[in-house]
Amino acid sequence: MNDSVFQRRIIIGAGLCVVAFALVGIRLVDVTLFGSANQGSILAQTVEPRADLTDRNGELLARDLPVKDLYARADAPFDFAEGARALAAATGADQKRLLKGLIAKQHSRKPYVLVARRITPDQEAAVMALGLPGLEFEPSVKRYYPDGRGAAQLIGVTDPDNNGVSGLEMGLQDRVHRAAASRGGSGKVVTSIDMRVQYILAHEVEEARRKFSARAGGGIVMDVNSGEVLGLVSLPDFDPNARKLLPGDSTRNIVAQDRYELGSIFKIFTFAQGFDEHTIRMDEVFKIGQGFKIGKHTIHEAERMPETLPVRDILAESSNIGTAQIALRAGGTRQRAFLTRLGLLAPMSSELPETARPLYPSNWGAIETATVGFGQGISVSPLSFVTAAASIVNGGRRITPTFVRQDGVDRRGEQVVRPETSRQMRELLRYVVTNGTGRNAEAPGYEVGGKTGSAQVPGPNGRYIPHALRTSFCAVFPAHEPRYIVFVMLDQPHGIKETGGFALAGHTAAPMAGKVIARIAPLLGVPNDAPPVKLADGSS
């Protein structure tokens, strides 16, 4: 064989190699850039990892776990009916959906049919044992919540593509993705939540809800100087790991995204305005009587009151008539401006995406001024109320709620009421607990101040539902120099024998707040100033 034959063979071989490499290159480009369209690629995009969420003490709240999604190729040679039945039995998938999908995609350029997401190892083993052709497992992640129902509405959940759709999972999504990217998928975002406080708050709210057969209940614990929310509870709740609701479950966060007429706890703002604008004095006496007429309207008391009351007892005994007179001294224009300054007439802004737009009078006349003064005719979210109340007692400085740990940083802003007004309100709230409707909120040694609220519940026709109340209590402690505010609420509780059949806040919400404070105060490092118990010396 001469040299020319060898040269031709070398040239032909080299040409074949070039063609082969070109085909491989074209195939790589096709798979890389156009695989989704030409090959029915299973995933259109990679699931973006999320960093861990933890409470302020490092307890894990949410984490990505590696799982697999199962797909079946509709162009694989197997009996669709039998395959759909077997796959449904192994994974819990819907058999009819699988069969319909396989038939529809058997001649498609995208022949993949989703069988089940986030299958368990046991399910994977059961699928493998079937021996069906054309099955593919795609790596994915499942968001796991170790505490389950412990903070369900607050933490929120993600969708099947690992995007936050509620709670802090949605509100902190950018932080969560940045933290994951910066640490190669293993970062964390530290929230302000203290799960010790969260568990106690949830336990006491649920106990009270059951005891008084209330439809729902909720609570908030906030640092009045940093605005950090240490606990937020909404009941009924749900299991975020189950991905389905059981009878009686609810995903709605009633303390952040619902708005209520909160009743007498709103009197806190009426008194704060009165002191701040020097329209009332602590020892000033008002005539109460049995009814207070404003035009064609008459304001009545929830309970019988004396003929006259000094200012401190108007709040302590929760007199509607006395509070209405104090509100009218300010007038509608100044009252509206004061509530605006406290942030109560706009939706609350925080890292929590759930929020509620307040409802308030469009025509702010005399009767509206009076009723708003004692907490009716205006609806706000409990989170908005708590934030405004914190500004009243923390020295009178604006506070913004946060769900990200601030390490105790003082985040108080500009003055919204005078420091002297804040001091007077703290003294008055303490008086409500020692001498008024808040007696059952007392937690010995922790100097609790607070206010009860028993609001009528509006019905669907615009009228109040007879005998239906929404009760709440707003507590601050220690009252002389507050560090924390505790808010608790029950929706339509019922009186019991122990309370003499009464369902007012002093009997239902106040004791709940006292129990919460007695349990969380030691954990939060608040010293107990109760006098030591004197023990018997054993002498006769």
The amino acid occupying position 176 is: V
Q: What is the DSSP letter of 179?
A: H
Above 80 in pLDDT, residue 386? yes
Q: Which residue, among 267, 257, 393, has the nearest Cα to 318 in the 3D structure?
A: 267
Band (pLDDT 50/70/90 cuts) for residue 8 is low
pLDDT of residue 538: 52
Q: How many CB atoms lie within 10 A of CB 190?
A: 19
Q: Can you give the pTM of this predicted structure?
A: 0.86
Residues sharing a CB contact under 8 Å with residue 10, sequence separation 6 or more, in sequence order: none
- The region of weakest confidence among 279-293, 329-343, 381-395 is 279-293
Distance, CA of 515 to CA of 303 (rounded, Å): 26
* High-pLDDT (> 90) share of the chain, %: 76
Average pLDDT, integer, range 239-260: 94
Predicted confidence band at 529 (pLDDT cuts at 50, 70, 90)?
confident
Q: Where are the beta strands (DSSP E) in 243-294?
A: 285-287, 292-294
| pLDDT tops 70 at residue 28 | no
Q: What pLDDT sits at residue 121?
A: 85
One-letter identity of residue 502: F
pLDDT for 40 equals: 42
| Alpha carbons 376 and 369: distance in angstroms, whole number | 10
Rounded to whole angstroms, how far apart are CA atoms 106 and 95?
A: 17
pLDDT score of 119: 87
For strand 285-287 and strand 308-310, is the pairing parallel, antiparallel, or unpaired?
antiparallel
Q: Retrieve residue 83's tokens.
A: 């395959």
d(CA 87, CA 152): 32
Q: 160 with 174: CB under 8 angstroms?
A: no
Report helix angle 505-523 to 195-211, nearest 10: 160
User: Residue 33 — very low, low, confident or very high, per pLDDT cuts 50/70/90?
Assistant: very low
pLDDT attached to residue 3: 54
Is the pLDDT assigned to residue 95 strictly greater than 70? Answer: yes
The residues annotated with a catalytic role in the active site are 264
The pLDDT of residue 534 is 67
- Residue 476: enclosing H or E segment and its boundaries? strand 464-477
Higher-confidence residue of 195 and 105: namely: 195
Distance CA 223, CA 401 (A): 9
Q: Which of 230, 233, 222, 167 is nearest to 412 (CA)?
A: 222
Average the pLDDT over 307-312 and give the result: 96
What is the reported pLDDT for 408? Answer: 77
Rounded to whole angstroms, the Cα distance separating 399 from 14 reads: 76
Decide if pLDDT at 412 tops 90.
yes
Give the Å distances, CA to CA, from 53 to 189, 252, 282, 398.
5, 21, 47, 28
Per-residue model confidence (pLDDT) at position 480: 94
Model confidence over 346-378: pLDDT tens digits?
A: 999 999 999 999 999 999 999 999 999 999 999
CA dihedral 170, 53, 161, 356 (to 10 degrees): -20
State the pLDDT at residue 181: 86
The pLDDT value recorded for residue 106 is 87
- In this predicted structure, the answer to whether residue 168 has a pLDDT above a threshold of 70 is yes
Peptide bond just before 493 cis, omega within 30 deg = no
Q: For 204-222, what is each residue's pLDDT tens digit?
A: 999 999 999 999 999 999 9
- Window from 39-48, 159-168, 276-285, 373-382 with minimum mean pLDDT: 39-48
- Provide the pLDDT confidence category of residue 54 given band limits of 50, 70 and 90: very high
Question: pLDDT of 171-208, one tens digit each?
Answer: 999 999 999 988 666 689 999 999 999 999 999 999 99
By the 10 Å C-beta count (0-12 exposed, 13-18 middle, 19+ buried), 45 is classed as: exposed
How many residues are given for the chain?
540
Distance in angstroms between the alpha carbons of the first and the last residue of the chain = 130
Residue pointed to by tokens 């493998």 = 128
Tokens found for residue 352: 């929590």
| Mean pLDDT value across the chain | 90
Taking 80 as the threshold, does the pLDDT of residue 333 lie above it? yes
| Average pLDDT score over residue span 132-150 | 92
Angstrom distance (rounded) from CA 320 to CA 82: 72
For position 161, what pLDDT does the model report? 86
Q: Are the C-beta atoms of residues 72 and 115 closer than 8 Å to each other?
A: yes
Residue 406 · residue 287 · CB < 8 Å? no
Closest CA to 277 of 421, 419, 423, 393: 421
- Taking every pair of Cα atoms in the chain, the longest distance, rounded to a whole number of angstroms, is 131
Answer whether the bond into residue 460 is a cis peptide, omega within 30°: no
- The pLDDT value recorded for residue 243 is 75
Q: What is the pLDDT of residue 17?
A: 55
3-state secondary structure of 540: coil
Domains and CATH numbers, the chain: 65-75+82-142 (3.90.1310.10), 198-523 (3.40.710.10)
| In the predicted structure, residue 539 carries a pLDDT above the cut 80 | no
Say yes or no to pLDDT of 27 above 50.
Answer: no
- Predicted confidence at residue 441, as pLDDT, reads 98
Strands 52-54 and 188-190: parallel
CA distance 3 to 360: 100
Q: What is the pLDDT of residue 540?
A: 44
Band of residue 35 on the pLDDT scale cut at 50, 70, 90: very low
